[in-house]
Amino acid sequence: MNPCAALTAQEELPPGIEPLVLWEPPDGEGDPVVVDNMLVRWLRPHQREGVQFMFECVAGLRMPEGRGELSQLFCSFPLFSTRLCT
């Protein structure tokens, strides 16, 4: 069974909550990396920032500064779900 099959149909977000786009191709071709709405709806603003930061570090887009804490469990769920399904 495909673990991402349930994530193919995007759930609608409540008013005031924007999708969490982690990366968009610079040339406009290809698909952006987007966190599933089922997870986004529950993230607080600081958690959204944490998911974005962790993605950029894992993808090599940013180097972590200092010895910041990257083991925020709740932030890791959307990150790993997105990485597995893209």
SS3 content of the chain, % helix, strand, coil (to 5): 40, 5, 55
Q: What integer pLDDT is reported at residue 19 of this predicted model?
A: 94
User: Is the separation of the CB atoms in 36 and 77 below 8 Å?
Assistant: no
* pLDDT, mean over the chain: 77
Q: Is the pLDDT of residue 67 over 60?
A: no
Report the Cα 69 to chain-centroid distance in Å. Answer: 17
The pTM (predicted TM-score) of the whole model is 0.67
Kindly indicate the confidence band of residue 29, based on its pLDDT and cuts at 50, 70 and 90: confident
- Residue 64, pLDDT above cutoff 80: no
**What is the average pLDDT across 42-51?**
90
Question: In this structure, what token pair is assigned to residue 46?
Answer: 């600081």
DSSP conformation letters of 18-49: ---EEE--TTS-S--EE--HHHHTT--HHHHH
